[in-house]
């Protein structure tokens, strides 16, 4: 590897070149940053020479330099804003706030001007009203003046001169008689003949609707998809549920109604695809009871095996 040693003509620093360099190559000095150029002699040897600065025009050199510095600073700040979106958002928000403040200041400055215009308009309207009033009063004053006789003409005539006309004074206007206002008569409205009573009448109560009579035989044939009673409930509660489903009241025998142990018997079962008649039979079979339909009423009594002749059925 060929290493060539040179010396900087500006700062006298020692420079070393590796490999063969091309002629007319320019580079800055690493110590003083002055521009240098590699030159080749006719004998084929390389050397370093200083580059003379190109003469610059002195016209507007300061303005060009300041404009270049300003452009570079704008470019640098623009790149910084583009890379920082937070700063860009703050800049936009500050600009908007400044514009809003300017609008508020202009609005406040225009409000006194509008109030001043309103006062000027009111003064002009007041002056116009006063002028109209003065114009309306002047003709009335002119009418009150006495008429002036016209000038007498003296035409040349052969005959006797005409006698001047005597002006006729108008008769004075008599003041109009004052209008006597009639006494104020108080008008009293006539009382109507059909006056409503002072005490309001009580509304008549609506008559209760007659209870609909349900056909028990038809109600017993109502189909039921599924009936489940997983928890045990007393017979009395189960019978009240069946009464609501059938829409009628059961007529219990005396020996069934007065037997509290029988009415508190727990019942729990489930049925599928049945009717209210089969459901009632199932409930009554749990406690050895049966039912019968008479005169569109359901009678509950004990079965024949447990029925005693001295017991009666409640109608």
103-123 pLDDT tens trace = 888 887 666 666 677 777 777
The confidence band for 247, taking pLDDT boundaries of 50, 70 and 90, is: confident
Highest mean pLDDT out of 86-90, 124-128, 211-215:
86-90
Residue 254: phi and psi, rounded to 5, are -65, -40
What does the pLDDT read at residue 315? 35
**Distances from the Cα of 3 to the Cα of 15, 20, 34, 53, 211, angstroms:** 10, 8, 22, 29, 129
Residues 6+ apart with CB under 8 A from 216: 246, 248, 293, 296, 297, 298
What does the pLDDT read at residue 266? 92
Determine the average pLDDT of the residues in 94-104. 90
Q: Give the SS3 label for residue 91.
A: helix
The overall average pLDDT reported for the chain is 75
Highest mean pLDDT out of 2-16, 61-75, 157-171:
61-75
Share of the chain above pLDDT 90, in %: 10
Residues 6+ apart with CB under 8 A from 286: 235, 265, 267, 269
Handedness of CA 104, 105, 106, 107 (dihedral sign): positive
Residues 6+ apart with CB under 8 A from 215: 296
Residue 305: phi and psi, rounded to 5, are -70, -35
What does the pLDDT read at residue 118? 75
The confidence band for 84, taking pLDDT boundaries of 50, 70 and 90, is: confident
Residue 57: phi and psi, rounded to 5, are -70, 135
Ranges of each domain in the chain? 3-50, 216-302
| pLDDT greater at residue 97 or residue 56 | 97
For residues 248 and 216, the answer to whether their CB atoms sit within 8 Å is: yes
The least confident of 38-52, 80-94, 144-158, 269-283 is 144-158
pLDDT above 50 (res 310): no
What does the pLDDT read at residue 312? 40
- CB count within 10 Å of CB 10 equals 14
Q: What is the pLDDT of residues 185-239, one digit of tens each?
A: 666 666 666 666 667 677 777 777 766 778 888 988 999 899 898 899 999 999 9
Residue 124, H or E segment: helix 85-144
- CB count within 10 Å of CB 283 equals 19
Q: Count each helix (H run) and each strand (E run) in the chain, helices first.
A: 7, 12
Q: What is the pLDDT of residues 142-180, one digit of tens each?
A: 455 555 454 444 444 555 556 666 666 667 676 666 655
pLDDT above 50 (res 50): yes
Whether domain 3-50 has CATH 1.10.10.10: the reply is no
Q: Top-level CATH class of 216-302?
A: alpha beta
The confidence band for 1, taking pLDDT boundaries of 50, 70 and 90, is: very low
pLDDT above 60 (res 52): yes
């Amino acid at each position: 590897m060929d290493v060539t040693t040179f010396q900087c003509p500006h700062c006298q620093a020692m420079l070393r070149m590796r490999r063969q360099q091309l002629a007319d190559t320019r580079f800055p000095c690493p110590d003083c940053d002055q521009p240098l150029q590699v030159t080749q002699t006719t004998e084929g040897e390389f050397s370093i020479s200083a580059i003379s600065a190109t003469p610059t025009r002195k016209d507007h050199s300061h303005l060009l330099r300041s404009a270049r510095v300003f452009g570079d600073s704008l470019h640098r700040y623009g790149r910084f804003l583009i890379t920082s979106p937070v700063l860009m958002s703050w800049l936009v928000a500050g600009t908007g706030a400044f514009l809003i403040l300017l609008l508020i200041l202009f609005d406040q400055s225009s409000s006194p001007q509008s109030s001043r215009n309103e006062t000027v308009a009111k003064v002009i309207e007041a002056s116009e009203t006063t002028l109209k009033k003065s114009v309306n009063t002047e003709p009335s004053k002119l009418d009150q003046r006495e008429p002036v006789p016209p000038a007498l003409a003296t035409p040349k005539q052969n005959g006797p001169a005409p006698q001047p006309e005597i002006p006729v004074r108008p008769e004075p206007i008599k003041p109009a008689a004052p209008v006597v206002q009639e006494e104020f008569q108080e008008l009293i409205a006539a009382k109507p003949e059909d006056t409503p009573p002072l005490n309001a009448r009580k509304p008549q109560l609506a008559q209760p609707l007659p209870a609909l009579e349900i056909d028990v035989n038809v109600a017993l044939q109502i189909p039921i998809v599924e009936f489940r009673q997983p928890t045990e409930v007393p017979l009395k509660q189960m019978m009240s549920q069946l009464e609501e489903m059938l829409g009628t009241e059961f007529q219990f025998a005396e020996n069934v109604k007065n037997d509290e142990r029988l009415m508190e018997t727990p019942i729990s079962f489930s049925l599928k695809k049945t009717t209210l008649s089969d459901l009632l039979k199932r409930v009554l079979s749990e406690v050895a009871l049966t039912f019968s339909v008479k005169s569109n009423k359901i009678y509950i009594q004990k079965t024949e095996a447990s029925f005693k002749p001295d017991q009666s059925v409640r109608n």
